[in-house]
Chains A and B, each alone.
Chain A
Amino acid sequence: MLTIRQLSVTYADGTQALRDINLQLPTGMVGLLGPNGAGKSTLMRALACLQPPDSGQIEFAGINVLHQPQALRQQLGYLPQHFGVYPHMSCYALLLHMAVLKGIRDKTEQKQQIDALLQLTNLSAVANKSVATFSGGMRQRFGIAQALLGNPKLLILDEPTAGLDPAERERLHALLVQISRDKLILLSTHIVEDIENLCPFVALINQGQIVQSGAVPGLLAPLQGLVWQSPLRPDNSSTLLSASYRFGVPTYRLLSQLQPCAAAVPVTATLQDRYFFELSDKAAYVAA
């Protein structure tokens, strides 16, 4: 549905934010996973026609995005990582404002969809309150609602669950899964769990380059049978994927052909393992 070819973006200060990105993304939910500063938001902004690339091509559902930005915008729902709101405008009024800009012309449709979206995002009770006075989570839900206005075929959601409480997060997940059947939802986050929960297709980005992309099972397959979990860090040639704590006790996830130590038990590989694997010194492991 979305094809990106040789996309590169360089900022005015010389920072090369994206380098020769090539991606082919299918319909459904796609996770864009990468550490801070990897280029996720730049890629999102480039896809939303807010950041013109130095070179490359973007094609969405037959539209040459760089040549026809307006055509893309007509099918776009966009939630940036940070956004603000106009002062003195109620949630309903601001949604109505965005609805008109997005091209919902029929007043009945405007009302119906806004009411539905308010309900979906659990904002009906505060529909007439000024958005400027909303808490972070409420404002984020407003952002999601505005992104869903109309009938977007491409939804770009940059950190959509930031600030949401667990219940709202689940609610959002359910909503996204529900609507992703005929849309491409590009979800950018560094919360691996969100992507694991939602996205059948993932692209890993690091230092402005796509390091891996594909269906999640395919990404995990190479690691299956090689991931170990241990309360101790072995002093051998195994690769440390992550070191975390659970109830204050250290837990190490290790990548190794053999059992790294006696305390290590084999575990199922997760997307997080793959993510840390891609960030780690992969070359050293491969060589080893």
Chain B
Amino acid sequence: MLQLNLLNNEWRYLRRQPLLWLALLLLPVTAYIFATGIGGIDTLADKRLQALQMTLLMFSLPLLCGALAPLVLLRDQHYSMTELILATPLSPPQRLFSRLALMFVLCAGLMLAGFMIIYFMLGREFGFQPSLLAISLWDFALLAVPACAFYTALAGCLAQRFNSSVLLYALFGCLWLGYLILASLTGAPMLAGSSIRYDWLFNAMRLLDPFGNTALIALYQHSAPQLYGDLIFYLNRLLFCLLADGLFFITLRLKPHNSAAKPWHSEISHDTNPPPAYQAVTTAPKAALQLWQLTRTALLTLLQQRLNQLFLLGWVLLMFNEVLSGINYAEPLAVLSPTSLDALNRIADDVLPLVGGLLVLLWTWQLSWRNRHTAMAELIAATPVGSGILMASHTLALTALILLLMLLGALGCLAAEWLAYSDVQLQYYPEILGKVALSLWLLGALFSVLHAICRSPLMAAAWCCGIFLMKYTPLSGKLGLTHTLWNIAGSPLQPADAFWHFEQSQSVYWPFMSFWLLLTFALLWLAAQWSHRTGSFTNPKRGKLTLSSGLLLALAVYSGVNLHLNIIAERPLMSSDLREQWRADYEQRYANWATIAQPTLTHIEAQVDIYPKQGEAAFALNYTLQNHTTQPITKLLVGNYSATVISELKLSVAHTASVDQQLGQHTLLLANAMMPGETLQLHSKLTFKQPKHWPAVMPQFVKPSFSYLRGMPLIPSIGFQMEYQLRDEQQRRQYGLAPLNLLKPSVLFATPQLTAASYDWVTLRSVVSTDSGQTPLAQGKAVRQWQQQGRNYAEYHTSTAMRNLPVWYSLAGDVLSQQHGDVRLTVYSPQLNAAAKLNMQAMQDTLDWMTQHIAPYRGSQLSLLATPDMGATGYALPQIMMINHRVGFRAEPAADAGFDQRYRRAVHETAHQWFGHDIGNGVLEDSAFLIEPLAKYIELVLLEQRYGTKAMQALVKYERERFALAVRRSSQQTPALIDATANHDLYSRATLVFAILRQQLGDAVISQALRQLWQQNAYPQTPATSMDFVRALQAQVSPHQQQLVTDLFLGTDLSLLLEDSSKP
């Protein structure tokens, strides 16, 4: 009864605290945001539900406990009530128990609310199944309750021991961050980019994870995941229940830590002498001196705090560790000879801004509210110091702290470089760290503005945390706020790489930062006038705009609007929503063209003038169109899907034209119908301009050292383009489009049938020009090269038709070229090193093996280009392949690598000349299996051929590990490999499947099936489907082996694949 009364008493206090209501609001909102955007017909609802609930728990519980702990456990100290409370007859254990109990109930209650919101959101999508409710309640009982008990007891222990709210905030912040780091090292599916870095850590975390997540995730690698845990999971939960009990009893035994030093008392003196005379001195306040004094004191006060000293030390160690742990990482099983650029790239885009941002958040809070917290505010505010000087001192102190952070970060980074034998290039330090520092400073200044204007510290903190979350978390994306300006105080600057440094996005930096600088200065100016003078004092000027502030703000707004207009002018479809809308509109307006006869594009004559320095490329295109249908054609649909406008479009025959400006589609009405078999010419012109407010992105960019212009979807296409349709059924419903009801290839092509599909192949003649010193490149054989008016020209012809994917380049760097049989092989790279030769070797090996076992290469030229680091590691177009410079030309195999990733990748991309650009195209519904999985098969064959069986097995082992991790992360039902579109199926699972098939059937059988595919389905015959390959393979093998083929290609049982046959 007493305890109930005490709990009620505690609740009476707590329900009046704004922080509690903030938590009651934020946690359900977080749960809602986590649960939005889920769905899909193949989603495993129960696994998804559990993963989301685990995510909510790990992301929010430490922060919730950290926020509530001082409020519940240290309030007596905060509000100088300790002596009053201690003097009551209630025993300390009773008091502590009631407070901890209430905190536990609050945490558990909020978690239950969050879990129920997630259940509700999933229930709306998948139905309110009792099994989902059961999982939610089980998750609450087994995951949330022990975790809440543990964190509450830990909070009690820490509060009792240290008696400092700042320390509690910091420790729980560290626990939160620490857990996220551990989770990312143990392959938590909720964290993008996480993987199991150390098996021992993963196994240890199965037992030591306070949330029990790792033990459950370990059971996710089966196609039917075990959601209710295993023995290790239950041991883990028992362990944390016991730990919570233990911590609770320790808390009861701990004597509260008393940090207050004994107050000084001056010795009592009875000095009867009259005091010395008071001497006044003249005062003449000088802003500079006041600013210096305030800044200096603020800085010293912050740096003298033990907590900040710990943070700075931790910062150095964090940077050191982060750099050293991955300075030479290129990709799994591959390492770099590192440079300062690699070292700085380890930290400059994530750890440095994120942790730096957290510190800036803390420091602006400390600086801005220091006077109020120390009760000095009235003394300071009564001095003749202008509010602007007070603000400026905070900003200057913050600047000094950020510079100190950068300096310490640089020291940590340099130390790691020194230990890793890195090529130290000091010039990158000021450039890269300076950019991070400026962004942090702008962010900090904005926080300072909010702290100076908001009289309530809680309100100011809420605003600052909101900005922080919008900037550093996916919250803005989840809320549909995708505009680049939501990256507050930042720019879309991309990391520098060794290929072209900052060239990808250098142009975006100052337009964005100028705007943020202007806005920040305007707001600082305003805040100086509206400031509460660090003590929440009422300012009569607040809310009134002076002329100077108004002008500055107007200037900032003008700059922002101007920036926004430039952004959308350069890329009107800047967000996924807008792109989806375009596709939906396109389908709604032009889907009827799918049944209207259209001519076929058979030949392209292209004049492409590339101006790398100006960032422009001018296209003049002549298409030869032929009526391959049996009907007369009376009108044509011509258009593109790009911000680049087709500036000129005309036919060789009489016609009238109308333009849909919004969608960039032209309708051409022929004066005389185009009869079957007839041809006509279509002439078009367009000029691609490189956006200056966006980073260069695939598939078109023109930059001084590398230009890449893929034709699709830039140049005009003929007829309705099925690939522009939205294929996600949810999105189609959202935009009011009829369902596509797409059947999977295994069903659609289950029986041999004649399809309406046909190859879209063309011949191409290109004349490409570029600046002197660069190489113009296109598909086909170089028939002529010349110089004219200080520019380099080259003419290329394709000897035979190729897949309609034209591309043009302007390249700088070295060239390695060899004639290999009938094919000229060329490698373009900034430097010709051993890797370039290895890539050349891989191309030769693939060419030889494919020619010998499957089919000859169709072209006379095959090029491989080193490309900047822009995401994809490799990409193949007909006759030209691109491989990321970092992984393909700079990297080397790691000491423990069983195979060479460079060779593997070059083989893979070369294999796409057959799988993807020979067969594997022409059937829109079946565009996956015949491309990536078969290229993976070639990897296995050629790795074994060149490096032996062990290398091949090493690749299989690597892919098995990747696949197991991906299965754990996936919440989709396992499809048949034939139907799969997920990367882990197309790459890793395919490798495992073909490894088994090679072992069980042998390469001869698989090659024979592939040869049969070529004989029956190669261009210009009817395109092949994946089921054609399955049938061809089954035709080669015994009934027993047929079952194996069926199981591997059409089955969904993964146990055979995840079994390591090399282990006893």
Contact = CB atoms under 8 A, between A and B. Distances in A.
Given A50-B378, A82-B375, A129-B264, A179 B278 contact: yes
B538 A103 contact: no
Nearest to B277: A178
B383 A89 contact: no
Nearest to B294: A101
B89 interface: no
A124 to B, nearest CB: 10
B538 A112 contact: no
Contact of B285 (A45, A50, A86, A102): A102
Interface string B966-995: 000000000000000000000000000000
A76 B646 CA distance: 73
The residue in B270, B275, B276, B380 that gathers the most chain A C-beta atoms within 10 A of its C-beta is: B275
B269 interface: yes
Contact of B538 (A51, A88, A104): A51
Contact of A134 (B264, B278, B292): B264
Contacts of B538: 51-52
B349 to A, nearest CB: 36
Nearest to B260: A133
B385 interface: yes
Contact of A80 (B264, B275, B283, B378): B378
B785 interface: no
Contacts of B383: 73, 76, 98, 101-102
B279 to A, nearest CB: 6
Interface in A131-180: 133-136, 138, 143, 146, 148, 150-152, 165, 167, 171, 174-175, 178-179
B1035 to A, nearest CB: 84
B261 interface: yes
Contacts of B375: 82-85
A134 B271 CA distance: 20
Contacts of B384: 70, 73-74, 76, 101-103
A61 interface: no
Nearest to A12: B538
B544 to A, nearest CB: 12
A78 B379 contact: yes
Contacts of A45: 378
A125 B269 CA distance: 12
A49 interface: yes
Interface stretch (A115-123, A207-215, A257-265): A115-123
Nearest to A73: B384
Interface string B255-272: 000000111111111110
A146 B379 contact: yes
Interface in A77-95: 78, 80, 82-89
A228 B605 CA distance: 121
Chain A, interface residues (CB within 8 Å), range: 35 or more
A27 B279 CA distance: 18
Given A112-B279, A138-B264, A179-B278, A98 B271 contact: no
B204 interface: no
Contacts of A179: 278, 280
A109 interface: yes
A78 B285 CA distance: 16
Contact of A52 (B277, B305, B385, B539): B539
Contacts of B305: 87
A138 B265 contact: yes
Interface-central residue, A86, A119, A134, A150, by most chain B CB under 10 Å: A86
A87 B301 contact: yes
B279 A113 contact: yes
Contact of B379 (A70, A83, A135): A83
A48 interface: yes
Nearest to A81: B378
Contact of B275 (A84, A86, A143, A174): A174
A175 B278 contact: yes
Interface string B537-579: 1111000000000000000000000000000000000000000
B377 to A, nearest CB: 9
**Residue among B269, B271, B279, B300 having the largest count of chain A Cβ atoms under 10 Å:** B279
Contacts of A167: 268-271
B419 interface: no
A126 B266 contact: yes
A125 B267 CA distance: 9
A100 interface: yes
A105 interface: yes
Enumerate the 10 nearest inter-chain pairs by beta-carbon distance, A residue then B residue, closest first. A84-B375, A103-B285, A151-B280, A103-B283, A73-B384, A78-B382, A100-B293, A150-B283, A101-B383, A74-B384
23 contacts: A48-B382, A74-B285, A76-B383, A78-B378, A78-B382, A83-B378, A83-B379, A86-B370, A86-B376, A102-B384, A103-B285, A105-B289, A112-B281, A113-B280, A119-B276, A122-B269, A125-B266, A133-B261, A150-B280, A167-B271, A171-B271, A174-B274, A179-B278
